[in-house]
Amino acid sequence: MEANERRRLATEEASRWWIKMDTRSADTLSAEDQRQFTEWLRESPLHVSAMLHVAHVHDALGRFKGWSEVATDGADENDNVVTLRDQSPREESAPRRRSAWLPAALAAGLCTFVVGGAWMWLGRGEVIVTDRAERREVMLSDGSVVRLEPESMVRASMSDDVRNITLVRGRALFHVSKDPNRPFIVAANNTAVRAIGTAFGVEHKKDEIIVTVAEGEVAVRPVAPKIPILPMTQQDESPSAAQPASAGVVSKSVSEVRLTAGKQVIVQSSGSAEPVREVDAERALAWSEGRLVFDGVPLRDVAEEFNRYNHVQLRIEGEDLGQRLVRGVFQASDPETLIAFIGAGAHVSVTYPDRQNIVVAAAP
């Protein structure tokens, strides 16, 4: 489906919802409508956008002052035509069924491929890659949404009975569309995370894999490494990406850890999992909202994390300064907030050798 066509459909649906929710009407949305509207909104950013645009149209009309000059001649003559059309068997205000939306999602994915260039079809899966300072959100063909952080890579391979995703490097937030018949499995190194319909984050941190659940429930289990079922066709992967566990080798016999919302587990490179802990999921997944949270992390590592998110690169000079521990929450896209923070706690000099670099050094 063309982009324009998808937009047109989304707008029609948004208008239908808007009129249905008309604030002047005594009728309110039924619980079922509320549910359907929520589902519709969370299907696609396009729907959210259409809704905001329709709100804008309504607002503009509400502020229009020239109604008295708007001619309505001919309104009556038009009546017959409209009445006739009204007899067509059209469902009134019923939200469109899901089936019509899936091709749209697929098309959206293809668009990303064409525009972004980083979305490739390789072998039997789609590969999504982000560069430094690049974040990318992609809807998979099943309607699930992957939000990829900078310097990350995901491979997705969909079949009729399983949705296999491999987080090759970096981190990503997954919002899984419900499909009880096709488990959604994310593999990262020696860890496999299985979900049915939920939202969770998976990240590589040094050799560990961190899984945090925002909504719903997932099962995490170690998988046998080095027996990948899917052939690795890529030549360009970093050494750290070598032989990630394929989701396909998940065996039911291995003990698994169940994680519900607000829970986190860290799986070490050895395959052993630390005890499940309770976390503030919003804080633990702050990165997916463009925020970076540090709890006593050396400044040098903090700078490195920032550099992942920005074209402007931050360099810390001086061993002592680099070792200082940072505790705080920052906007990933704004290194200046970090610089201000450092400046408040240490005597530093900040220089801008060129547009791409910022150097922070201990002041003499």
Partner 1 sequence: MSDPGSKGHVADWFRRLRTPLRRFLVGRGAVRVADLDDIAQEVFLRLLRYRTSEVVSQPQAYLFKIASNVAAEWAIRARHRFEHEPHWLDSLVAEDQVEETLDSAAAQNEIRRAVDTLTPRERQIIKLYFEEGLTHAQIAERIGVTLRVVRRDFEKSYSKLRGELKLQQTGALKYGSE
In the region spanning residues 114 to 153, those forming contacts with partner 1, defined by CB under 8 A, are 137, 145, 147
Q: How far apart are CA 344 and CA 330, in angstroms?
A: 14
DSSP 269: T
Q: How far apart are CA 192 and CA 153, in angstroms?
A: 16
Contact 258, 219 (CB under 8 A): yes
Residue whose CB is less far from partner 1, 52 or 363: 52
Residue whose CB is less far from partner 1, 18 or 298: 18
Residue whose CB is less far from partner 1, 20 or 96: 20
Closest CA to 165 of 152, 143, 146: 146
Name the minimum Å distance from CB 171 to partner 1. 15
Asked if residue 67 binds partner 1 (CB under 8 A), the reply is yes
Selected binder of partner 1 within 134, 142, 208, 215 (CB under 8 A):
215
Residue whose CB is less far from partner 1, 50 or 241: 50
Instruction: Identify which range of 77-85, 202-210, 294-302, 318-326 contacts partner 1 by CB under 8 A.
Output: 77-85
Phi first, then psi: give them for residue 119, nearest 5 degrees: -100, 110
Using CB atoms within 10 Å of the CB of residue 359, give its burial: 0 to 12 exposed, 13 to 18 middle, 19+ buried: middle
Among positions 325-344, residues that touch partner 1 (CB under 8 A) are 331, 333-334, 336
Closest CA to 254 of 263, 244, 267, 243: 267
Number of residues that bind partner 1 (CB under 8 A): 81
Closest CA to 169 of 142, 131, 196: 131
Among positions 150-179, residues that touch partner 1 (CB under 8 A) are 175
Selected binder of partner 1 within 35, 277, 311, 327 (CB under 8 A):
35
Q: How far apart are CA 17 and CA 33, in angstroms?
A: 9
Selected binder of partner 1 within 1, 118, 120, 261 (CB under 8 A):
261
Asked if residue 231 binds partner 1 (CB under 8 A), the reply is no
Name the minimum Å distance from CB 175 to partner 1. 5
Among positions 294-323, residues that touch partner 1 (CB under 8 A) are none
Closest CA to 320 of 364, 283, 279: 364
Asked if residue 94 binds partner 1 (CB under 8 A), the reply is no
Residue whose CB is less far from partner 1, 218 or 245: 218
Residue whose CB is less far from partner 1, 31 or 114: 31
Asked if residue 89 binds partner 1 (CB under 8 A), the reply is no
Contact 249, 227 (CB under 8 A): yes
Residue 14, Cβ neighbours under 10 Å: how many? Answer: 23
Contact 53, 47 (CB under 8 A): no
Residue whose CB is less far from partner 1, 60 or 114: 60
Alpha helices (H) along 22-134: 31-41, 45-63, 79-86, 98-116
Q: How far apart are CA 96 and CA 13, in angstroms?
A: 8
Residue whose CB is less far from partner 1, 268 or 337: 337
Name the minimum Å distance from CB 316 to partner 1. 20
Instruction: Identify which range of 12-20, 204-212, 224-232, 343-351 contacts partner 1 by CB under 8 A.
Output: 12-20
Name the minimum Å distance from CB 4 to partner 1. 9
Q: How far apart are CA 270 and CA 225, in angstroms?
A: 10
